[in-house]
Amino acid sequence: MSSHPRFAVDPWAVRETTLALEELGQTESVFALSNGHIGLRGNLDEGEPHARPGTYLNGFHELRPLPYAEAGYGYPESGQTVVNVTDGKILRLLVDDELFDVRYGQLRSHVRELDLRGGVLRREVDWVSPAGKAVRISSVRLVSFVHRGVAAVRYVVEPLGADARVVVQSELVANEPLPAPDGDPRAAAALSAPLEAESWGHGETSALLSHITRASGLRVTAGMDHVVSGPDGIGLAAETSGDLGRVTVAANLRTGQHLDIVKFLAYGWSAARSLPAVRAQVAAALTEARHTGWDGFVAGQADYLEEFWAGADVEVDGDPEIQQAVRFGLFHVLQAGARAEGRAIPGKGLTGPGYDGHAFWDTESFVLPVLTYTRPAAARDALRWRHSTLPAARGRAGELGLAGAAFPWRTIAGEECSGYWPAGTAAFHVAADIADAVERYRHATGDEEFERESGLELLVETARLWCSLGHYDHRGGFRIDGVTGPDEYSAVADNNVYTNLMAQRNLRAAAASAERHPDLSSGLGVDDREIARWREAAEAVVVPYDEALGVHSQAEDFTQHAEWDFDATFPSQYPLFRSFPYFELYRKQVVKQADLVLALHARGDAFTDEEKARNFAYYEARTLRDSSLSACTQAVVAAEVGHLELAYDYLGAAALMDLHDLQSNTRDGVHMASLAGGWIGLVAGFGGMRDHDGKLAFHPRLPRALTRLSFVLGVRGRRLRVEVGPEAATYSVEAGAALSITHHGEPIEVAADRPATRAIPPAPERPRPAQPPGREPPRRA
């Protein structure tokens, strides 16, 4: 098994026992805290040194122009970039007038721990100043799941061996200098001083700073307040200016005494509310924070997570590293969506500025499947955000000469922000991914109110898009030409299988939903003729198949393209998009990430078992995993067709993406879809879970190294537990009414008092397929 010295393996924590300054970028992302509304990177309390300071508010962005060498009709003109807002994490410490800095003096110990059950980041440091004064600093940081707009830090200083004079400067800092971009197109564009000061003020232990962005016109207020305890004679002072708020605490500490500071942070922002209103919101949040108190925040955080883990935990026996990784992934997925409430779930969550803070199709295709079965309210809120952006999506469709809604490839506020048309605008499958997430949520929850409020309209407008985008050929097939599927190395192709099959499901779902709610659908202008057109198009969708090879062509004529010369490609040239022109990639049989293979998972009901096995083997030899999205899908399909050890390898590549920094870019934020992929690889891969049209099915099988897999799913008011062993699986309902499922094709009804145990048939024996040279997943066993 692989090992990684950065973090100790622990089932419920991610712990760092030494401080490596050269890896601060990774640890700042891994130790980031968020609730979906506020995001704090895991910077050191004193602010420096850092790789990239970061405090983010979901949806808070600045506009920037998108330059083009040659402009064209329909090109997006404005980009949206997440803003590093006012940093309230900073607590600077002076010991006998010397500034605590881990780069100076002697760092005798330094431990940080992300507690996955407590929802806090702990830090304990023993430091000796250059003058020989020893102190112990303990801090605990949290972003509250219960109080949406509040974060808090408890900071404790005690002298070791001798008395000490200590001063703590607790700060709010706006417009922090950011490191320059490193040329990686996935990294965020740096913005220089995007915040203009509007108002500032302070009390004895508190401060408020208000700013507005120059171009987007968004207003933000950050506030802090403190509860200080320690020996008699503590000194307090406060000051504010446009970009700085500071509360200074001074104390003389004898050996055995300590200075204890609780810092409450509150944030509020709005595109519409006045400055007094936003300031009042933050002031009220700080008042409530003092009322709740530190112990109340810690208790509320633990209670929230206890409830979450009861309905979401995955237990793995046989691989402690995977056990830690899947819980770490679930924790970050929860952090990304728990309190987003009307905002997007970005590709990096709120852990870093990667991808400019944009949301992609990753949300609906990878993150929402996890939340739908573990935290459905968060999945509903994410889909409601998509619904709120329908006006922009309709406008974009009209600009492109299409009907319905054309959702953006990448966005923060709903407008298209991709300046590269072949991999942006042409990737229309995002519409079907949204529709698929709507249907999955409806089937899993039975939430008719959501369908009537948001789901129906999303299905209708996306179905209209497909009918205007596609056309019938002379053979009567419904074609969708000139689109880009999930594989961004094959752009602007005809009849991408994934896109067409997902559009087919979209069209069928829209027809069924419109018929379930005729009163609402008629209000959207839907009539029987339009429903009939949707169904006709769905039944006639073209699905390319290469008879000579016996496999589906990823898109029309893909299997006729020239092969990529892997033998002439050096390891330093991966990922290929950094070393070769896209034109060269587009005309070869080389796959960036699972595309046809993703269709085998998402639309497994459209393929036979033998077709899945042949397709998987064919595309394994051509798939590079140049994207973090690929490994979990390859794990799922590998497990389904019988390659259990290969699936295990891919599971590790997905689940350990950020803990092992496998793509060397975790510094820009964690890979939210890949972290969700750890759950997907276990539940859909080795648990074999599928939910096609509301029919819940399981085909479980374990690789040799895993001796037990247990997970829970929330399904239509029930809590279903699945326990998988090497030879048998047991299904039980822990809460709710009986539930009908299938096990390897056998129908079973499971009730609270009637768990069902069934034998697991052996996997089919097939030779392990080859991957492109040097692109094999790391072996786990």
Strands in 491-602 per DSSP E: 545-546, 551-552, 562-563, 588-589
CA–CA dist 216, 61 (Å, integer): 7
CA–CA dist 365, 361 (Å, integer): 6
Catalytic residue among 415, 488, 530, 723: 488
List the strands of the sheet with 8-10, edge to edge: 8-10, 13-16, 106-115, 120-128, 134-143, 150-160, 259-270, 219-229, 207-213, 195-202
85 touches 61 (CB < 8 A): no
Task: Dihedral sign for Cα 615, 616, 620, 621, please.
Answer: negative
Q: Is 89 exposed, middle or buried (0-12, 13-18, 19+ CB in 10 A)?
A: buried
Element (H, E) at 364: none
Residue partners of 482: CB distance under 8 A and separation at least 6: 426, 492, 493, 494
Task: Dihedral sign for Cα 543, 548, 550, 552, please.
Answer: negative
CA–CA dist 733, 718 (Å, integer): 7
Q: Which two tokens stand for residue 666?
A: 């975790």
Cα 51–654–602 angle (5° rounding)? 130
Cα–Cα distances in Å, from 739 out to 623, 714, 736, 751? Answer: 38, 11, 9, 6
Q: Which two tokens stand for residue 140?
A: 């605990």
Cα–Cα distances in Å, from 186 out to 352, 408, 418, 426, 680? Answer: 11, 17, 12, 19, 24
For residue 89, the one-letter residue type is K
Closest CA to 670 of 12, 11, 33: 33
DSSP string, 603-665: TGGGS-HHHHHHHHHHHHTTB---STTHHHHHHHHHHHHT-HHHHHHHHHHHHTTTTTTTTS-
DSSP 680: H
Q: Which two tokens stand for residue 312?
A: 């979401």
- SS3 at position 327: helix
DSSP string, 224-238: EEEEEE-STT-EEEE
CA 765 to chain CA mean position, Å: 35
Q: Which two tokens stand for residue 652?
A: 């590790």
**198 annotated active-site:** no
Residue partners of 231: CB distance under 8 A and separation at least 6: 251, 252, 253, 254, 257, 259
- Find the Cα–Cα–Cα–Cα dihedral 57, 58, 61, 65, rounded to 10°: 150
CA–CA dist 43, 104 (Å, integer): 18
Q: Which two tokens stand for residue 566?
A: 């892997």
CA–CA dist 56, 267 (Å, integer): 10
User: What are the backbone angles phi and psi of residue 358, rounded to the nearest 5°?
Assistant: -80, 155
CA 775 to chain CA mean position, Å: 24
Task: Dihedral sign for Cα 88, 89, 95, 100, please.
Answer: negative
Q: What share of the chain is helix, strand, coil (3-state, %, to 5)?
A: 35, 25, 40
Query: Pairing relation of β-strands 55-57 and 38-40?
Result: antiparallel
Task: Dihedral sign for Cα 667, 670, 673, 674, please.
Answer: positive
Active-site residue list:
488
